[in-house]
């Protein structure tokens, strides 16, 4: 950790947004509440973006390598390539959620999973970082120059502590935002992503070669499927160890959503299902749809994914991200839940942390007003872009779609 503020910082939420912010402050206590369905599910996502690269260049003392990707292939239904981008020397770095989380934990408090990412050497001036699991923040009260943070642990113990700065990095259903701006809502947008990974060595040569170093995308009416490689277990970049990561956007109305989010134990969930918990009947139906509408290579990937999971796509956007006389700040998904088409969720969290650094670093040169305008302004733009992309791919006629006779009837 490079930057040590003399202020006491409490970070609510210990996922990527909380860790990016904790690292730039170089001190603080991250309150981390584990919500298993989301966290397990997120192991399978790929993540990339320029602000993440900027962040890691500045703050990652472990210098852990990630995967290099270089463009997109749009596929026809028969598996042929309609259009390709890339090959012009412009590349992107891709990590899995799991890898990025472990890199950030190594930098924040010395590491999470044994034998994954080793902690960087300590630097003079590093702050003290405590990562507290299984604690849910429940209240915030302004007490003169400080904020009192009330919390409850999973075993029911209640407590409170005081902080100079509180960061709400607690995601799309943010408690911090609900306490301070209850009118902001999180809404379902009419479609979900089905997701999953499969080790590339289990794929046919044809499919592995097609995936190469590019994302493959196929559109049919009301459906979009994206597939790309991400690092393998423990961040392995060895060919054969990589995972093919498949993300399939499909429309489901509220009644359908309720049905598919009812798990194999007949328990109903609001936004996501734990890996391995999809009702086998629902999984079988999805397999038939995938076989009918996907290009054959992506149908093969779907068919080989053992345990897919479902995530409902939701929108939320705050109108304000600073509260309690400039002592409480929102970052990441608590600011805006961005549609995954933009690939911007993790980038937003990294960018929000970099802006906070500019505000609290004496030489940073950013005022709180500028930070607020940029944070909410950027989130508003990115949210709008995601809505347009989603509306076109899910409810419109996408110019890259291959709406064959069969797919248009699905
Ligand atoms: C299934 C899925 C797929 C995604 N795919 C991509 C992708 O491909 N690319 C990309 O860039 N982004 C993706 N995202 C978004 C990306 O993961 C987030 O934008 C990024 O992790 C930053 O989120 P965050 O840390 O702000 O919030 P979250 O990751 O939601 O973390 C919030 C944390 O706060 C904790 N918390 C909640 N309430 C409380 C409380 N009261 N007290 C204490 N802790 C609390 C939660 O348990 C959680 O750990 C995806 C998200 C999901 C769910």
Residue 49 pLDDT exceeds 50: yes
User: Length of the chain, please?
Assistant: 410
Closest atom of ligand 1 relative to the 49 alpha carbon: 11
Query: How do residues 18-40 score in pLDDT, each as one tens digit?
Result: 999 999 887 555 555 443 334 44
Buried b (16+ CB within 10 A) or exposed e, 161-178: eebebbbbbbbbbbbbbb
- CA 196 – CA 405 distance, rounded (Å): 28
Residue 408 pLDDT exceeds 50: no
**Domain 9-48+97-186+315-389 is classified in which CATH homologous superfamily?**
FAD/NAD(P)-binding domain (3.50.50.60)
Ligand 1 centre to CA of 347 (Å) is: 12
Ligand 1 centre to CA of 333 (Å) is: 6
* Nearest alpha carbon, ligand 1 atom 52: 42
Query: How do residues 152-171 score in pLDDT, each as one tens digit?
Result: 988 999 999 899 999 999 99
To which residue do tokens 């076109």 refer? 392
Q: Which of 105-119, 133-147, 315-329, 342-356 has the lowest mean pLDDT?
A: 105-119
Ligand 1 centre to CA of 15 (Å) is: 6
Ligand 1 contacts CB of residue 37 (under 6 A): no
Ligand 1 contacts CB of residue 349 (under 6 A): yes
**Predicted local distance difference test score (pLDDT) of residue 46:** 58
* Nearest alpha carbon, ligand 1 atom 21: 16
pLDDT band at 112 (very low <50, low <70, confident <90, very high): confident
Ligand 1 contacts CB of residue 340 (under 6 A): yes
Query: How do residues 83-111 score in pLDDT, each as one tens digit?
Result: 998 877 778 888 999 899 999 999 998 87
26: its two tokens:
């170089």
pLDDT band at 78 (very low <50, low <70, confident <90, very high): very high
Residues of the chain with CATH 3.30.9.60: 187-314+393-408
Ligand 1 contacts CB of residue 192 (under 6 A): no
**Predicted local distance difference test score (pLDDT) of residue 403:** 66
Which of the listed CATH numbers 3.30.9.60, 3.40.50.300, 1.10.3720.10, 3.30.1280.10 matches domain 187-314+393-408? 3.30.9.60
**Predicted local distance difference test score (pLDDT) of residue 29:** 52
Strand ranges of the sheet holding 81-84, from the earlier edge strand across to the other edge? 81-84, 72-75, 215-220, 223-230, 243-251, 187-199, 309-317, 336-337
pLDDT band at 315 (very low <50, low <70, confident <90, very high): very high
Ligand 1 centre to CA of 171 (Å) is: 5
Residues of the chain with CATH 3.50.50.60: 9-48+97-186+315-389
Ligand 1 contacts CB of residue 136 (under 6 A): yes
- CA 95 – CA 237 distance, rounded (Å): 10
Alpha helices per DSSP H over 343-367: 345-360
**Predicted local distance difference test score (pLDDT) of residue 39:** 45
Complex ipTM value: 0.97
Mutation pick for ligand 1 pocket among 20, 42, 246, 274 (CB with most ligand atoms within 8 Å): 42
Ligand 1 contacts CB of residue 314 (under 6 A): no
């Amino acid at each position: 950790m490079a930057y040590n503020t003399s202020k006491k910082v409490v970070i609510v939420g210990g996922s990527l947004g909380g860790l990016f912010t904790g690292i730039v402050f170089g001190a603080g206590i991250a309150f981390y509440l584990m919500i298993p369905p989301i966290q397990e599910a997120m192991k399978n996502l790929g993540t990339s973006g320029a602000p993440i690269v900027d962040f890691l260049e500045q703050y990652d003392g472990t210098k852990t390598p990630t995967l290099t990707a270089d463009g997109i292939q749009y596929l026809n239904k028969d598996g042929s390539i309609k259009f390709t981008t890339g090959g012009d020397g412009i590349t992107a770095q891709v990590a899995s959620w799991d890898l990025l989380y472990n890199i950030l934990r190594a930098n924040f408090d010395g590491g999470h999973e044994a034998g994954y990412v080793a902690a960087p050497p300590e630097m003079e001036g590093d702050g003290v970082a405590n990562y507290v699991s299984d604690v849910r923040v429940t209240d915030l009260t302004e007490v003169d120059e400080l904020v009192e943070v009330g919390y409850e642990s999973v075993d029911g113990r209640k407590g409170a502590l005081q902080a100079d700065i509180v960061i709400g990095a607690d995601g799309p259903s943010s408690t911090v935002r609900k306490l301070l701006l209850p009118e902001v809502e999180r809404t379902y947008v009419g479609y979900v992503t089905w997701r999953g990974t499969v080790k590339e060595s289990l794929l046919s040569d044809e499919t592995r070669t097609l995936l190469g170093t590019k994302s493959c995308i196929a559109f049919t009416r009301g459906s979009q499927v994206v597939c790309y490689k991400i690092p393998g277990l423990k961040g392995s970049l060895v060919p054969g160890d990589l995972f093919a990561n498949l993300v399939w956007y499909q429309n489901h109305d509220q009644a359908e959503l309720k049905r598919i989010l009812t798990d194999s134990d007949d328990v109903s969930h609001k936004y996501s299902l734990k890996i391995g918990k999809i009702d086998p009947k629902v999984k079988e139906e999805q397999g038939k749809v995938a076989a009918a509408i996907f290009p054959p290579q992506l149908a093969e990937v779907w068919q080989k994914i053992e345990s897919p999971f479902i995530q409902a796509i939701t929108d939320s956007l705050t109108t304000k991200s600073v509260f309690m006389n400039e002592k409480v700040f929102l970052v990441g998904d608590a600011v805006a839940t961005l549609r995954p088409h933009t690939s911007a969720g993790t980038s937003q969290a990294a960018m929000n942390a970099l802006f906070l650094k500019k505000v609290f670093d004496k030489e940073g040169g950013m005022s709180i007003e500028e930070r607020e305008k940029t944070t909410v302004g950027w989130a508003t733009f990115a949210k709008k872009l995601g809505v347009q992309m989603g509306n076109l791919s899910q409810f419109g006629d996408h110019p890259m779609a291959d709406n064959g006779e069969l797919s248009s009837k699905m």
